[in-house]
Amino acid sequence: MRLALERRPEQSRTMTVVSPLIAIAITVLVGAIVFSARGLDPLHALYVYFVEPVMTLWSLEELAVKTAPLVLIGVGLAVCFRANLWNIGAEGQFTAGALAGAAIPIMFPEWQSPAALPLMLVAGVLGGIAWAAVPAFLRNRFGVNEILTSLMLVYVAQYLLDWLVRGPWRDPDGYNFPESANFEGWHALPTFGDGRVHLGAVFAVVAVVVLFVFMSRTLKGFEIRVSGEAPRAGGFGGFSRPRTVWFCFALSGGLAGLAGLCEVTGPVGQLQPIISPGYGFTAIIVAFLGRLNPIVVLLAGIVLGISYLGGEAAQIELGVSDKIAQAFQGLLLFLILACDTLIRYRIRIGRRETAVATDA
Amino acid sequence: MTGLEAVIMTIIAAATPLLLAAIGELVTERSGVLNLGVEGMMIMGAVGGFAAAYVSGSAMLGIAAAVGAGVAMSLLFAFLTQTLVSNQVATGLALTLFGLGLSGLIGEAFTGLPGAKLQSVHVPGLSDLPLIGPVLFGQDVIVYASVALTALAGWVLARTRLGLVIRATGGNHHSAHALGYNVIAVRYGCIAFGGATAGLAGGYLSLVYTPQWIENMTAGRGWIALALVVFSTWAPRRVAVGAYLFGTVWIMGLYVQGIGINIPPQLLASLPYLITIAALVVLSGDRLLTRVNPPACLGQPFVPDR
């Protein structure tokens, strides 16, 4: 017995849709096994984890809060990955954006004006772009691998944040806690409903629509897809690879920076040593689950958002650590990648000769 | 122990996990496979090693468990990238994310517990010599293993038939296949070796370096090891030099702070990452080394029946 792959004549459209669903199903199944191994009723546990988060208005709002940054970052990364560029430092760009935007209210706390927030948003985007520009520049100018540099800068951004909130940017009236002052008035992001869902959710939806049209309907979007799938052909077509690198990193960095600024001026409300439960990394999973397609990324963001909420619910109601969320997320990405094999190959289980024969 | 001895000992301690993880990844990459999951294999080695040592009370069992955890993770990667031909970059990332998540979950029960520390070797007489005593004869077994494995990898790759096959697989997998070598099997083996050393590196962190479990305790060392492989231009000897240089820089930061120069600790903590970037940039100036040396098939999938 042997497992053999047989290349499909063309990529299976059915499997493109079905493969992530299989991956989600297996993740849920593994979840059930893990829960029952812990002596919990698996059905009840799965209900608490995956269903309850979408059953009440309150939790739906909370889901939007979690999904907004995931989608904002995830659509940017989807474009990047399409171009075969591996920006895996979105977590750092998220932090840099939060810092750049938050500099305004922290340095000018008295300046309460309607112009403050738009300026902060612009600064947030620019902060993210600046942080992403480093790996883009190093790749274009020196040919340095963007995976390693973008990731290294995540740590640098986190230490920068840590230094600022413990040092110069600490709230003078904050009893020495490592926190900045709270962002209030024109320095806080407008919210809807019960005051949790914020403007970031709107930005996320806008980004999804704009990037969907951009990728499928414009020349630049086509250029990015060609540049990723067939860089040589792109070169013959006059498409500049360095320009694509700049564009993709600026786009994904800017969106991550925007997400970071929305997070600290919205749900978090101040700068703290930790401002993200790993959104920048989870967004990588969002991009893949979303088939690198902006519209599907929105759905994928909701799925991963549920995994965060479910983790919190499991901790409160089942006494299971909320760290289980991150384990599920990692497992999900694994399974998506494994199932994606089905898009390009048929799997034959049998003797080697049969596989060769059918292939020929 | 004199001051100089202490400095050298801490440098070796900082360099050992980097060297271990990097030498395994080097062998993996020489066979043509890019495994970006070093950080994930390492952290699973750290948590697996700590848990086994804590439960059994034996540090040696902990080491075995660390290696086992690293290998198990690497085989997961091998199955996806070699058997299912998934994208190596994405799968490596998945391995890291999965490892960080799972280790956090497993390790939660062990947070803050005192660990079983692996004891250093003591050779009567020799270990008590000034300076060279503790440095050469007073280390723990993992330090010796890291040096031995590096030498072994260098020898096997350069001087043996097995090394030739590994290099052929990484250089041109179609030719290696045509010559009758089982490309997939060779790569499975090299990936597992990389997993074993990455797991051991993690075990070193949780059993020797800071003998306890702390979430995310690898702190990017797996990624730095990946950079070291590039930095070494895929040569085992230079991996060792790079790892010890890196350990030196890491430790010098601490000493600079110790003598009272007022630098924010966060800046010192981010130095290793900034220096990694700087090292990659400096190295890239040498086009010959960076273009000629990488295995030609690095990161490319291989499907035999095509």
pLDDT at A360: 35
| A326 interfaces chain B, CB cutoff of 8 Å | yes
User: Is pLDDT above 70 for B290?
Assistant: no
Q: Closest to A341 (Cβ–Cβ): which among B85, B105, B273? A: B85
Residue B291 lies in a domain: no
Question: Does residue A170 sit within a domain?
Answer: yes
Q: What is the mean pLDDT of chain A?
A: 88
> Is residue A192 one of the residues assigned to a domain?
yes
Task: Establish if A293 belongs to a structural domain.
Answer: yes
What residue of A is the nearest CA neighbor of B80? A338
User: What is the tens place of the pLDDT at every residue in B28-58?
Assistant: 999 999 999 999 999 999 999 999 999 988 8
Residue A224 belongs to some domain of the structure: yes
pLDDT at position B1: 54
Say yes or no: A88 contacts chain B, CB-CB below 8 A: yes
Residue B125 maps to a domain:
yes
H or E element in which residue A345 lies:
strand A345-350
Q: What is the pLDDT of residue B289?
A: 62
Range of the domain at B61: 3-284
Over the Cα atoms of chain A, what is R_g? 22
- Within 8 A of B90 by CB-CB distance, chain A residues are 288, 333, 337
Q: Considering Cα of B294, then B299, then B304, then B306, what sign does the dihedral take?
A: negative
Domain assignment present for residue B272? The answer is yes
Domain that holds residue A245: 38-341
Q: Which residue has the tokens 């997993």?
A: B195
* DSSP at A178: S
Q: What integer is the mean pLDDT of A204-223? A: 93
Size of interface A-B (CB pairs under 8 A): 138
So what's the pLDDT on residue A14?
Answer: 84
- Label residue A176 left, alpha or beta by phi (over 0 means left) and psi (-120 to 50 means alpha): left
Nearest to A326 among B84, B90, B101 (CB): B101
User: What's A130's domain CATH number?
Assistant: 1.10.3470
Residue A306 lies in a domain: yes
Q: What is the pLDDT of residue A252?
A: 97
Integer Cα distance of B210 and B203 in angstroms: 10
Q: Compute the nearest-CA separation of B93 from chain A (Å).
A: 9
Give the nearest partner residue to B87 out of A149, A167, A337, using CB atoms.
A337
Element spanning A7, H or E: strand A2-7
The CATH number given to whatever domain includes residue B276 is 1.10.3470.10
Per-window interface: A 125-164 vs B, CB < 8 A? 134, 138, 142-145, 147-149, 151-153, 155-156, 159-160, 162-163
Residue A266, min C-alpha distance to chain B (Å): 26
- Tell me, yes or no, whether A314 lies in a domain: yes
CA separation for the pair A79, A74 (Å, rounded):
9
The answer to whether residue B292 sits within a structural domain is: no
B contacts of A7 (beta carbons < 8 Å): 303, 306
Q: What is the mean pLDDT of residues A135-145?
A: 91
Among A1, A2, A77, A151, the residue to mutate for chain B (most B Cβ within 10 A): A151
Closest residue to A5, CB basis, from B266, B273, B303: B303
Yes or no, beta carbons of A148 and B84 under 8 Å apart: no
Whether A5 sits inside 8 A of B84 (CB atoms) is: yes
| Dist. CA B231–CA B242, nearest whole Å | 7
Nearest CA in chain B to A81: B90
Q: How many domains does chain B have?
A: 1
Q: How many domains does chain A have?
A: 1
| Lowest mean pLDDT across A27-31, A116-120, A199-203, B134-138 | B134-138
Least confident of A41-45, A320-324, B77-81: A320-324
Check whether A356 has a pLDDT greater than 70.
no
Tell me if B76 and A149 make a contact (CB, 8 A cut-off). no
Please indicate whether, in this complex, the C-beta atoms of A143 and B305 are within 8 angstroms of each other.
no
Average pLDDT over residues A146-153: 92
**From B80, B83, B100, residue closest to A326, measured CB to CB:** B100
The answer to whether B63 touches B145, Cβ cutoff 8 Å, is no
Contact call for B80 and A337, based on CB within 8 A: yes
pLDDT in the model for residue A2: 66
Q: Is residue A8 part of a domain?
A: no
Q: Report pLDDT digits (tens) over A227-267.
A: 888 888 888 888 888 999 999 999 999 999 999 999 999 89
Which among A15, A153, A169, A333 is the top mutation candidate for probing chain B, defined by the most B β-carbons within 10 Å of its own β-carbon?
A333
Determine, yes or no, domain membership for B303.
no
